Amino acid sequence: MMIASQSSPVFDLAIIGGGINGTGIAAEASQRGLKVFLCEQNDLASSTSSASSKLVHGGLRYLEQYEFRLVREALSEREVLLRKAPHLVWPLEFILPHSRQLRPAWMIRAGLFLYDYLSPRSIIPGSKTVNLQHNGITREAFKKGFSYYDCAVDDSRLVISNALAAQAHQAIIKTRTQCLKAEAKADGWQLLLQNQRNAEQYCVRARGLVNATGPWAESFFLSQLAPLAAPRSVRLVKGSHIIVPRLYAEKHAYILQNFDKRIIFVIPYLESFSLIGTTDIPYEGDPAAVHISESEIDYLLKCVNYYFRKPLNKADIVSHYSGVRPLCDDESNNPSAVTRDYTLVLEEIKQQPLLSIFGGKITTYRRLAEAALTKLQPYFSALKPALDAAFPLPGGEFKREEWPQLLAQLSQQIPEFIPKHIERLARSYGQNCFKVFAGVKHRDDLGQYFGAGLYQKEVEYLLRYEWAESAEDILWRRSKLGYFLTKEEQDTLTGFLHTS
């Protein structure tokens, strides 16, 4: 039996899971006046939320599955996020080459017309037909295509920005903290937590509990909430991506139709690379142990080589990553057809509210958070009204047209940085760059240099303010500089972290 002392911290809402849904709900709840606690068993965005296609998009292909409400909501959120996080979310043009063997041109035109119609566009341009002849990228067989816009996003930094927004409203965010047991009592929920660094265990109490564990949403009932039964089943679908040297200089992305009716994205990534994905493979097993298969690599390469002139092979692959999408099981036989919509299930356990999140996608995380608070509102009479939808995330307190001024100000603050490093910092932190480099007047103020524009000053900021603890946290989720630092430079950073 779990025993909590009367001195155990008491919160309005405890959230288990530090992905985009958990941090989004934490930000929404704390901004509306609730006392929030969030714990994540690993690092923020360490699972599904950092293994996406790095897109904020309406989901063009979901129109074929008649997911009109989801597409409309996602397209609306696309505009909101462009204003809410102008440093993290950017318009991106997509070119769709037309293949006569696949969808007919009239069907694509109709789909893009509907996509434009469903979107409340003020920043994003509409779709159009484009001539692909002599572009030097696609094979000569593809003479015509279509252009439309969606958005690119830094997925893991979007998660961290929401955690920062929650913390700014007094939420407590605990990483490397596993919930071992959650038990409903007469006066609320009691949680037994374990610090993963030192195995120390302690308890917190909360009036309401949110299960935002993503791929673990169903298993959370079987372990931490036992003997409760999960109200929904989770369908785990693996999505894998490969990263290759940049395939073309132009800034647009490609969306490629495949013969299995799926689509593959080819996206400019980090200036030097092209990101190719994703797959949709049923997955069973530990979500933390997911890994790309040879058949997935072959699948992605085959699709790209069907459309592009320059052939790709496995030797071209610089890196790859895989993630598990926790989809709400709608009993579809085709993994690609399983709904990407979310389901929120509110239950009362001994009269204590338990909200479980099944499914969802990065683009609609904020609407999911709003819906979560709407369901929980009857239990919290003092809940304040929601902030404006486009209320900026930390770092996003500027208008998109002010981007050049932000870069110029940052160049003046740290003149030693070359333009591409200035751009990387601004896209990562936005206005928070001036917090990162507060007090810097000379190069010596930046501290030790680790490579690729990463200095001790930035590392210390990440350790102090953004829950980073390891080189992996810094290089692969918060900065993406793992692609650019040599092994020796990465080892130097690891050594610094061990001694700091």
DSSP state of 395: T
Domain 92-151+235-329 CATH (choose: 3.40.50.300, 3.10.129.10, 3.30.9.10, 1.10.10.10): 3.30.9.10
Are the C-beta atoms of residues 79 and 125 closer than 8 Å to each other? no
Q: Which CATH number fits domain 10-48+157-233+339-379: 3.50.50.60, 3.90.1150.10, 3.40.630.10, 3.40.50.300?
A: 3.50.50.60
Kindly give, in sequence order, each residue whose CB lies less than 8 Å from that of residue 467, ignoring residues fewer than 6 positions away: 43, 44, 160, 163, 173, 175, 473
Residues 175/462, Cβ–Cβ less than 8 Å: no
HSE-CB at 389 with a 13 A cutoff on CA atoms is 15
Phi, psi (rounded to 5 degrees) for 305: -70, -20
Within 8 A by CB and 6+ apart from 72, the residues are 58, 118
* Distance in angstroms (rounded) separating the CA atoms of residues 298 and 302: 6
The greatest distance separating any two alpha carbons of the chain, rounded to the nearest whole angstrom, comes to 73
Which candidate, 52, 63, 274, places its Cα nearest to that of 148? Answer: 63
Closest CA to 187 of 381, 383, 6: 6
The pLDDT assigned to 224 comes to 96
pTM: 0.96
Per-residue pLDDT of the chain (500 residues; tens, 9 = 90+): 555 555 677 999 999 999 999 999 999 999 999 999 999 999 999 999 999 999 999 999 888 888 899 999 999 999 999 999 999 999 999 999 998 888 889 999 999 999 999 988 788 899 999 999 989 999 999 999 999 999 999 999 999 999 999 999 999 999 999 999 999 999 999 999 999 999 999 999 999 999 999 999 999 999 999 889 999 989 999 999 999 999 999 999 999 999 998 999 999 999 999 999 999 999 999 999 999 999 999 999 999 999 999 999 999 999 999 999 998 765 555 555 556 689 999 999 999 999 999 999 999 999 999 999 999 999 999 999 999 999 999 999 999 999 999 999 999 988 889 999 999 999 999 999 999 999 998 889 999 999 999 999 999 999 999 999 999 999 999 999 999 999 999 999 999 999 98
Spatial distance between the Cα atoms of 350 and 211, rounded to a whole number of angstroms: 17
- Rounded to an integer, what distance in angstroms lies between the CA atom of residue 387 and that of residue 391? 7
CA nearest to 145, candidates 3, 266, 314: 266
Distance CA 269, CA 158 (A): 16
Q: DSSP letters of 381-393?
A: TTPPPPPPTTPPP
**Amino acid letter, 80:** V
The CATH superfamily of 400-499 is Alpha-glycerophosphate oxidase, cap domain (1.10.8.870)
Q: What pLDDT, on a 0 to 100 scale, did the predictor assign at position 119?
A: 87
List CB contacts of 89: < 8 A, sequence separation 6 or more.
56, 81, 82, 151, 152, 153, 158
SS3 state of residue 139 = coil
Query: In this predicted structure, what is the pLDDT of residue 335?
Result: 55
Beta strands at 144-153 and 128-131: parallel, antiparallel or unpaired: antiparallel
- The pLDDT score that the predictor gives to residue 103 is 85
Q: Where are the domains of the chain?
A: 10-48+157-233+339-379, 92-151+235-329, 400-499
pLDDT of residue 339: 60
